[in-house]
């Protein structure tokens, strides 16, 4: 028998009229505004409000078309829910007025004079086109909108790549294609990024980590740099206005209100190319700032619940931005969970990187918790079970939890200690070899229990110097940020190789090229999950600015002409990424602690100038590691040597596994194209017992059968 469903619902009819609109009691779940047959179900909650009014606008009109007090009888607990019939899904904007006590000392800041955005709004109006200044006089500048939730995903689903197999690429959606050289139809948008997927595929990365794409206002705190006269924006967007809404200004179709479809298409196309999507999410603070900031939604809906407050009602500031989200309040915890479940299920997102995640482990009074309920909930949530969860395990108030983040055997971390020691080793600091050894095998001192997939290894990220600048500047040069060079990280373990900034000195330039490659060799051969900063593979510079959050200009945008100009470097990175994908020993799955499975080659062994004799002394600047992995017989075996000393050294090589011989994969002392060899073309080493490593250079060898 063929089963069919009824074409109509018995609750698809109004029970009454309010302010000229047909309504009926709504359903509390799901929260937010959800199209239902004949109308829209509005559901909003507040435990401290005494009354809530739904405010409806016609799109494009400043003043409301109607205000509908939600009847007391429509309330379920602290949830106010109402179905309004006959609304045009595309032509309607909505908000709420919440009444309740105004008593800042007690933490309450209700003000029914304001229209508040729905924290669950799926789309926003008001910021449809990037860079168009907002209307400061608009009493309701960020307007909650309704969104279609149907999308033809066809067979798409999250890719579920094993964590340790990822090569992450951190990027800014707008900056990636905004530069005139990008040659895409819609520069600076989700659609523009789709056009560049072939580049990502060729590069070999299989996960993009998108800097914030939740709706934000790039004009937040906008100002003019007095020296250059340039407008400074919040270009990075670590300042969320709408946690359930993709940023409309990043969509070519933002002016048509189709950012939801455009972002979903981006995810679908990346998945088709075998690339996962990780979102950089900012739950530690909101765009509302402190008591002097704008009231957008949370402050007016339930200030006492959403924010960490002092005993006298002031905003705690563990985020360095004015307020701190009260993550371990049970209501807020539910909000965060709802939000991530929505992105995982509705947008097929593969994972999340949590900005200043240490804050997620603080109690409502700010105390770090041993067993933070939010972090535990996220770790065990069934909807999120297969999502990557990556913590930036520190905050702006001194809590540093790299290696000690409450992980529930589930969370990964940005390994800040990896970054620090690789930087110091490569620039030639003494006393770094011992820690470097620990870091390049997945930091088992911190992650032995969780495995190397828990360590996201990186040397550069959006915060701090990009790679080319790391080897070109001793000091940050943030004058263009308009804060007298006071902003941005000051201890950055960089070295300019002899001259500060741009130079024509060939020796300095050659050394910088080598230092860049040395970092990349270490990063791409270390166990753990490597993360590249977009543009580092083509030598992008920010002219020494290590905190370019406010620059929507050439300083930040990826200049695609570098693909040609630095094609040697790009080739080098492609070869190393492909090499990484081909050799499981580098990814450390099941190898770091396992016993030797065949012959006498252990999974990890350390070497120095003499084979089997690493030099762990304070003055040592040379380290070699032999990694054996995989189940193939004979073993997959790789030898990586890094020499941060300013002199050449002759290295005695350990014997490769029986029947195999050493071949050269990469040598950063060699000129391109001899700096890296594609699979199958690696030259056989004539001398199987000795190899010379150049001053400040790195070598990668592969043991394989001689052809």
Partner 1 sequence: MQIDRQMTGEVVVLSLEGELDSRSAPQAQSEIAELVPQDGKIVLDLSGTTYLSSAGLRVMLLTYRQAREAGTRLVLAAVPADVLDVMSATGFLDFFTVSDTVQAGLGVLQR
Residue 254 near residue 129, CB atoms below 8 Å: yes
Q: Smallest distance, Å, CB 159 to partner 1?
A: 18
Contact flags string 66-105 toward partner 1, x per CB under 8 A: ----------------------xxxx--------------
Nearer to partner 1, 155 or 449 (CB): 155
Q: Which stretch binds partner 1 (CB under 8 A): 263-271, 332-340, 458-466, 655-663?
A: 263-271
Q: Residue 240 pairs with which residues in a beta bridge? A: 216
Q: Smallest distance, Å, CB 191 to partner 1?
A: 4
Nearer to partner 1, 211 or 252 (CB): 252
Phi, psi (rounded to 5 degrees) for 562: -65, -25
Q: Which stretch binds partner 1 (CB under 8 A): 63-71, 247-255, 297-305, 314-322?
A: 247-255
For the question of residue 355 being annotated catalytic, the response is: yes
> Among 150, 312, 484, 686, which residue interacts with partner 1 (rule: CB under 8 A)?
150
The yes or no reply on residue 252 touching partner 1 (CB under 8 A) is yes
Binding residues among 269-298 for partner 1 as defined by CB under 8 A: 269
User: How far apart are alpha carbons 326 and 329 in whole angstroms?
Assistant: 6
Q: Smallest distance, Å, CB 290 to partner 1?
A: 37
Nearer to partner 1, 84 or 623 (CB): 84
The yes or no reply on residue 189 touching partner 1 (CB under 8 A) is yes
Q: Smallest distance, Å, CB 576 to partner 1?
A: 32
Nearer to partner 1, 257 or 351 (CB): 257
Counting every residue, how long is the chain?
A: 707
* Strand pairing category for 108-109 and 102-103: antiparallel
Catalytic annotation, pick one of 261, 302, 392, 536: 392
Q: Smallest distance, Å, CB 216 to partner 1?
A: 21
Query: How far lies 657's CA from each of 583, 632, 685, 706, in Å?
Result: 15, 12, 15, 13
Q: Smallest distance, Å, CB 606 to partner 1?
A: 50
Q: Smallest distance, Å, CB 272 to partner 1?
A: 10
Would you list the DSSP string of 392-427?
A: --B-TTS-B-TTTS--TTT-EEE-HHHHHHHHHHHH
User: How far apart are alpha carbons 659 and 704 in whole angstroms?
Assistant: 8
Q: Smallest distance, Å, CB 184 to partner 1?
A: 11
- Contacts (Cβ under 8 Å, ≥6 apart) of 692: 648, 649, 650, 651
- In 526-623, which ranges are continuous DSSP H helix? 562-565, 567-582
> In the numeric block, which tokens belong to residue 286?
């909101």
Classify residue 20 as exposed, middle or buried by CB count within 10 Å of its CB (0-12, 13-18, 19+). Answer: exposed
Question: Percent helix, strand, coil in the chain (nearest 5)?
Answer: 25, 25, 55
> Among 64, 257, 300, 351, which residue interacts with partner 1 (rule: CB under 8 A)?
257
User: How far apart are alpha carbons 622 and 479 in whole angstroms?
Assistant: 37
Q: Smallest distance, Å, CB 197 to partner 1?
A: 12
User: How far apart are alpha carbons 355 and 413 in whole angstroms?
Assistant: 11
Task: Evaluate the CA torsion angle 547, 550, 555, 560 in order and state its sign.
Answer: positive
Phi, psi (rounded to 5 degrees) for 483: -125, 30
Q: Which stretch binds partner 1 (CB under 8 A): 185-193, 297-305, 593-601, 613-621?
A: 185-193
Nearer to partner 1, 38 or 539 (CB): 38
User: How far apart are alpha carbons 312 and 309 in whole angstroms?
Assistant: 8
Helix (H) or strand (E) holding 210: strand 207-210
The yes or no reply on residue 177 touching partner 1 (CB under 8 A) is no
The yes or no reply on residue 152 touching partner 1 (CB under 8 A) is yes
The yes or no reply on residue 251 touching partner 1 (CB under 8 A) is yes
Catalytic annotation, pick one of 118, 262, 338, 355: 355
> Among 21, 110, 169, 190, which residue interacts with partner 1 (rule: CB under 8 A)?
190
The yes or no reply on residue 65 touching partner 1 (CB under 8 A) is no
Q: Smallest distance, Å, CB 21 to partner 1?
A: 17
What is the torsion angle, in degrees rounded to the nearest 10, for the CA atoms of residue 299, residue 222, residue 128 and residue 276? -80
Nearer to partner 1, 152 or 312 (CB): 152
User: How far apart are alpha carbons 504 and 672 in whole angstroms?
Assistant: 20
User: How far apart are alpha carbons 550 and 220 in whole angstroms?
Assistant: 10
> In the numeric block, which tokens belong to residue 130?
């990037």
Place of tokens 């360590």: 455
> Among 253, 297, 566, 591, which residue interacts with partner 1 (rule: CB under 8 A)?
253
Q: Which stretch binds partner 1 (CB under 8 A): 148-156, 329-337, 462-470, 540-548?
A: 148-156
Q: Which stretch binds partner 1 (CB under 8 A): 187-195, 387-395, 551-559, 658-666?
A: 187-195
The yes or no reply on residue 256 touching partner 1 (CB under 8 A) is yes
Query: How far lies 702's CA from each of 133, 518, 605, 607, in Å?
Result: 56, 17, 15, 15
Buried b (16+ CB within 10 A) or exposed e, 687-706: eeeebebbebbbbbbbbbee
Closest of 444, 439, 437, 440 to residue 614, by C-alpha = 437
The yes or no reply on residue 148 touching partner 1 (CB under 8 A) is yes
Size of residue set near partner 1 by CB under 8 A: 26
Place of tokens 């969780």: 450
Q: Smallest distance, Å, CB 35 to partner 1?
A: 10
User: How far apart are alpha carbons 490 and 694 in whole angstroms?
Assistant: 31
The yes or no reply on residue 58 touching partner 1 (CB under 8 A) is no
> Among 185, 383, 510, 672, which residue interacts with partner 1 (rule: CB under 8 A)?
185
For the question of residue 149 being annotated catalytic, the response is: no
Nearer to partner 1, 87 or 640 (CB): 87
Phi, psi (rounded to 5 degrees) for 203: -65, -35
Place of tokens 């900005």: 355
Nearer to partner 1, 262 or 513 (CB): 262
Q: Which stretch binds partner 1 (CB under 8 A): 204-212, 259-267, 453-461, 508-516?
A: 259-267
The yes or no reply on residue 245 touching partner 1 (CB under 8 A) is no
Q: What is the contact surface with partner 1 in residues (CB under 8 A)? A: 88-91, 148, 150, 152, 185-186, 189-191, 194, 251-253, 256-258, 260-262, 264-265, 268-269
User: Among all residues, which ones are annotated catalytic?
Assistant: 355, 392
């Amino acid at each position: 028998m063929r089963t069919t469903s009824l074409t109509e619902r018995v609750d698809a009819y109004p029970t009454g009229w309010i302010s000229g609109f047909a309504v009926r009691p709504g359903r509390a779940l799901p929260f937010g505004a959800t199209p239902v047959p004949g109308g829209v179900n509005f559901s909003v909650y507040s435990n401290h409000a005494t009354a809530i009014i739904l405010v409806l606008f016609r799109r494009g009109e400043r003043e409301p078309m109607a205000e509908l007090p939600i009847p007391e009888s429509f309330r379920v607990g602290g949830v106010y829910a109402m179905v309004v019939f006959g609304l045009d899904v595309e032509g309607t904007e909505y908000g709420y007025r919440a009444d309740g006590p105004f008593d800042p000392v007690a933490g309450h800041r209700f003000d029914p004079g304001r229209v508040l955005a729905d924290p669950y709004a799926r789309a926003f109006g008001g910021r449809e086109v990037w860079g168009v200044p907002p209307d400061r006089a608009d009493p309701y500048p960020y307007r909650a909108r309704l969104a279609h939730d149907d999308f033809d995903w066809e067979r798409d689903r999250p890719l579920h790549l094993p964590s340790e197999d990822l090569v992450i690429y951190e990027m800014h959606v707008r900056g990636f294609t905004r530069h005139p050289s990008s040659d895409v139809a819609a520069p600076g948008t989700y659609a523009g990024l789709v056009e560049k997927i072939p580049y990502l595929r060729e590069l070999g990365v299989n996960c993009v980590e998108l800097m914030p794409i939740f709706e934000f206002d790039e004009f937040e705190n906008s100002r003019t740099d007095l020296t250059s006269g340039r407008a400074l924006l919040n270009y990075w967007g670590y300042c969320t206005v709408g946690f359930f809404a993709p940023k409309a200004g990043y969509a070519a179709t933002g002016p048509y209100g189709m950012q939801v479809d455009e972002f979903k298409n981006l995810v679908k196309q990346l998945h088709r190319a075998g690339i996962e999507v990780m979102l950089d999410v900012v739950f530690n603070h909101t765009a509302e700032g402190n008591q002097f900031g704008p009231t957008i939604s949370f402050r007016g809906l339930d200030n006492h619940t959403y924010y960490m407050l002092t005993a006298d009602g002031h905003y705690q500031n563990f985020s360095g931005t004015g307020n701190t989200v009260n993550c371990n309040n049970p209501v807020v915890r539910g909000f965060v969970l709802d939000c991530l479940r929505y992105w995982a299920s509705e947008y097929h997102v593969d994972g999340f990187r949590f900005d200043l995640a240490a804050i997620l482990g603080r109690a409502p009074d700010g105390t770090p918790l041993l067993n933070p309920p939010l972090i535990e909930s996220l770790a065990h949530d069934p909807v999120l079970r297969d999502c990557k969860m990556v913590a930036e395990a520190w905050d702006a108030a001194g809590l540093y939890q790299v290696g000690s983040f409450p992980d529930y055997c589930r969370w990964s971390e940005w390994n800040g200690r990896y970054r620090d020691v690789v930087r110091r080793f490569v620039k030639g600091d003494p006393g770094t070899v011992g820690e470097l050894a620990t870091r390049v095998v997945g930091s088992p001192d911190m992650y032995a229990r969780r495995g190397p997939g828990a360590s996201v290894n990186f040397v550069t990220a959006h915060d701090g110097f990009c790679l080319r600048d790391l080897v070109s500047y001793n000091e940050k040069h943030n004058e263009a940020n308009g804060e007298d060079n006071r902003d941005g990280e000051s201890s950055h373990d960089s070295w300019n190789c002899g001259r500060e900034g741009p130079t024509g000195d060939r020796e300095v330039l050659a050394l910088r090229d080598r230092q860049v490659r040395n970092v990349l060799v270490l990063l791409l051969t270390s166990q753990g999950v490597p993360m590249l900063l977009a543009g580092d593979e083509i030598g992008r510079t920010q002219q020494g600015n290590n905190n370019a959050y406010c620059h929507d200009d050439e300083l930040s945008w990826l200049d695609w002409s570098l693909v040609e100009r630095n094609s040697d470097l790009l080739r080098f990175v492609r070869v190393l990424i492909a090499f990484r994908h081909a050799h499981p020993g580098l990814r450390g799955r099941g190898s770091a602690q396992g016993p030797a499975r065949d012959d006498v080659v252990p999974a990890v062994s350390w070497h120095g100038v003499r084979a089997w004799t690493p030099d762990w002394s304070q003055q040592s600047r040379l380290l070699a590691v032999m990694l054996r992995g995989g189940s193939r017989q004979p073993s997959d075996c790789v030898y990586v040597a890094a020499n941060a000393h300013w002199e050449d050294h002759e290295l005695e090589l350990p014997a490769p596994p029986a029947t195999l011989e050493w071949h050269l994969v990469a040598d950063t002392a060699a000129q391109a194209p001899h700096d890296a060899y594609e699979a199958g073309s690696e030259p056989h080493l004539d001398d199987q017992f000795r190899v010379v490593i150049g001053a400040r250079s790195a070598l990668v060898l592969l043991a394989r059968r001689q052809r």
